[in-house]
Structure 1
């Protein structure tokens, strides 16, 4: 096998991934999750979401609709239907919450 044939096979086996398919978001300058800039990190994390979730995140200033804390890097963000009706997609019926807050909301509703 020639070098050109080998390179051709490698390119076919490991095709380049388009930048748009790579969901990694570059960290700005000397930012660190340990420097206390929770606003930067919550906004950066929200870029992983699109559609309604992203719109509600912006509307809520990247804060949980239940506990009011900001979302941090790596946390799962859930879109919650306030009235419990999953067919009601009106903006006033939607809020974004931490995964743990979402679980608490639904657990506390079962107990009452």
Structure 2
């Protein structure tokens, strides 16, 4: 027996060919193997460098809530939404700043059939929230108007009437 075969005996015992790769540390039946460094979950987005002179104690609630998803001085819902939206307003797509008024809004208004769930919440600037509320109110008026005319049309179909000089005249039955 040569020195070369003795040296490679240990290699063959623990190191295997696995998925077109040579020298993978694995069990004999290849059910378990040692993961390589690049196979671990995680990306460079998970580890974002803290900006230059930032500190959790400097009072920048927007920055730290966006970064961490929580801050002791920020309500939990707002901090969570800030992180989820990556610090941007859903309506105008501008970044939130420290002096901005942040308001929570329902993506689909509850009055228009939306639900009060996390998936239906968004964080908006105060003025963007005003514009979205005006838009939702317009949609609600359109919906109610449509429902009113549909109901009126159904009621008219139940009646016996004749058109006389562009005026519907009800005929008693």
Query: Alignment partner of 1:52: what SS?
Result: helix
Return closer, same or farther for 1:42/1:101 CA change in 2, 3 Å cut-off: same
Task: Detail structure 1 runs of 4+ shifted over 3 Å in the superposition.
Answer: 44-48
2: distance between equivalents of 1:81 and 1:65? Answer: 11
Higher relative contact order (CA 8 A, sep 6+): 1
- Matched residue, 2:124: 97
Give the aligned partner of residue 27 of structure 1: 58
Please show how residues 1-112 of structure 1 align to structure 2 within 5 Å. 26-27=57-58, 42-44=62-64, 47=71, 48-85=73-110, 88-112=115-139
Could you list the runs of 5+ residues in structure 1 that have no partner in the other structure? Answer: 1-24, 29-39
Root-mean-square deviation (Å) = 2.8
TM-score (norm 2): 0.38
Note closer, same or farther for the CA distance 1:57–1:71 as it changes in structure 2 (3 Å cut): same
